[in-house]
Each structure stands twice: as C-alpha cells, then as structure tokens.
Amino acid sequence: MMATGISVIKLGIIFYIMDVFNATPSQVGYFTALWSLSYIIGCIFVRPLFSKVLPRFLMTVSSLLMCLFVLLILFTKVFELAFVYYALNGIAASFFWPPIIGWFSRDIEGAKLGKTMSYFNFSWNAGLILGPFLAGTLSAVHSKLPLYAGGLFYFMTGTLIAAASLLLPKIKRDRRSVASVDEQTSKVDSSTILRFPAWIGMFIAFGLSGVVMNIFPVFALEELFLKKEIIGVLMQSRNYIAVIVFILLGHSVFWHFKISLILACQVVLACLFFSMNFISSPLVFAVYISLIGGIRAYSYSSSLFHAISGSINREGRISVHEVLLNSGLIFGSSMGGLIYQNFSMTVVFFFCASIAMLGALLQACLYFLLRRKNGSAV
C-alpha cells in the first residue's frame, strides 16, 4: 500500500507540476530529486532521534504525515511551497522504510534472510506495478487525481498499521525497537566486503532509474507525443521483470557473495542505455525499461543482503543502503533533467551508459583492493 502510494505520487506529480506550475524539464528533475534529498536528511539527522520508538508507531505517524503533506501540495498555488511540502513528505517517509526493513530482518541470516527479503520485495514491487498505471490513467482525467489517490493509500496504510497494533496480539506485545536489537553486543560482526561494490551498483542502478522514472516521461510527452496513460503503462513495465527477479532471488542462493554477477549487471545496464538511442517504438521502450527494472531489482536485493548479512549494526547499514539509494535518484533525476533541457535525450542515454561502465570499473577496482587488504574474497 505504501509503495503504491509513493509510485502514484512520483509519476503523478510530474504531470501535476507541468500542468499547474508549467515546470521545465530541469525543474521536474530538481523537484523529484528533492524528495530523495529530504529522505536522506530524514534518515541521517531526523529519524535517529526517534530510534527508541517502536517501528509500528514510527510507521503509523509516517503514513499519516505523508498523507497530510500531499494534500497541502494540492491546496497551494505557490510552486516554492509545493517544494517545501514535497520535501517534508520525503522526511516523513524516512520514518517508514528503515524501521520496517530492520523489523522484518530481525535475528535472521543466510538463505532465510534472502527468502524473507523476497517476500518484502515482492509486495513492494507489486505496489510499484500498480502505481504508475493508476497515475497515468488518473492524470489523463485530471492531474490532481493521482495525488488524491496517493494520499488515500498513505492514510489507509497508517490506519492498517494502527489497527494491527491494537488488534493483533503478537504485534501488540512487541516492545523491541530496531535500536534495541542493534545494541546487543554478544554477536560477532562477520560483514562482507561485497557490500561496497553492491552499494556502488545500487547507487548507479537507482540513479539511472531516476532518469527513467522522472525524465523519460517528459521526453515521452514532449517528443514522442505519447498519451499520459501510455506513459503510465511504460513506467509500469519497469516492474514486470523485477517481480520475477525478486521471486528468483528469494528462493535461491547462487547470487550470494558473487562479485561477477554484480559487475555483469553494470555492463548490461550500460548496453541497454546505449542501445536506447536507436529505438523509437513504445513497445520496444517497454521491453528495455522492464529489463532496466530487473537489474534495479537485483541491485537493490544485492545491496540490502550484503549490507546486513553478518552485521551487528543493521540499523546503521539499512540507513546507508537507503541514503545511497536515494542519492542515486537525486543524481539521476537532477543530472538527467539538466542534460535533457540543455542538450537532448540522446546525450542523456549516452551519459547513462558511460556512468554504468564507470561504475563497473570502480566496483572491480574496489573489490580487488579490499580483497588484498582483508585477505579474503568475502
């Protein structure tokens, strides 16, 4: 429900600010990047102040605040205030994701951790599939409707968690915050060095996904002359293969601690963006965007698994994971919008391909440097 609300808003708000505030491509890039920047600020500076609060309470408050700030965006006629409210929405979101990830990964490792992550990622991705379709369809009727729909999903999420906290005995009896779990000092840290290449991979994958999510819709509207509902379907396509990837990763261990797979995904990502310069068919774009979504799903799972596997400070690792994820979105959205406005989408695609190849080189160098320093491949 939360993922659906966020994905409805993220696409719907692009159409909304273009229609209501006549936003330029660079302004769209900055506006969408602002959410990720404020989310990072929330993860680093704000949410840790409430680390002793139980996850269910943080998630309930987060959901209701996100609903409030979306409604405030709808009621303002000043673009600068819309920026402020969207930033506050991002800070509120930082009270939802790190706590829920720490909550579901508590006290588990190895294959069980991978399987549990798969269930979480599947439900999250199911919301991402539904969201763009709703955003495109509702925006075609009126640009305000996706924001109302997203606000409704936020409100329902907060209500559901509050009801579960009151009615379900196991949740009601839970008295452990994520911080209280991390404070256990009896465990021995056995973290893997592969978290660093995996983090680089996720930063780049989500950075380039930021281009797909936030800049490609502008390109599709202005140059491909596609209808909003068609653009919604295109954005929806990035999650089709991702669902399959999440399921496969959750029921297998072949991808655990494999640097070769981490590197290969970056190379494939570079090839996809390079070849996007030579296509114009919406159907082919849908295939490419779906493949990019599959790589993004792997990069997300790889980063999260290798970050918390063997760690005794999962709260901290989850925060790093979330910060890098959203830093990638900021980088991709802002740079993509700036390059597109001043040059062309062709230059944007070449830029994305170059960044992916540079990332693969950086991953390889970092891995072999750490392996030599630590004397271990893991």
Cβ–Cβ < 8 Å for 371, 377: yes
Q: Which domains does the chain have, with CATH numbers?
A: 2-373 (1.20.1250.20)
Q: How far apart are CA 267 and CA 336, in angstroms?
A: 20
Calculate what percentage of the chain has a pLDDT beyond 90.
Answer: 65
pLDDT at 185: 45
Q: What is the pTM of this model?
A: 0.81
First and final C-alpha spacing in the chain: 36
Comparison of pLDDT for 348 and 50, the residue scoring more:
348
Q: Is the pLDDT of residue 282 over 50?
A: yes
- The Cα angle at residue 112 between residues 106 and 113, in degrees rounded to 5: 50
301 pLDDT higher than 60 = yes
| Amino acid occupying residue 135 | A
Q: Report the amino acid identity of residue 160.
A: L
**Residue 150 in contact with residue 1, Cβ under 8 Å?**
no
**d(C-alpha 55, C-alpha 348), whole Å:** 40
Closest CA to 111 of 250, 212, 242: 250
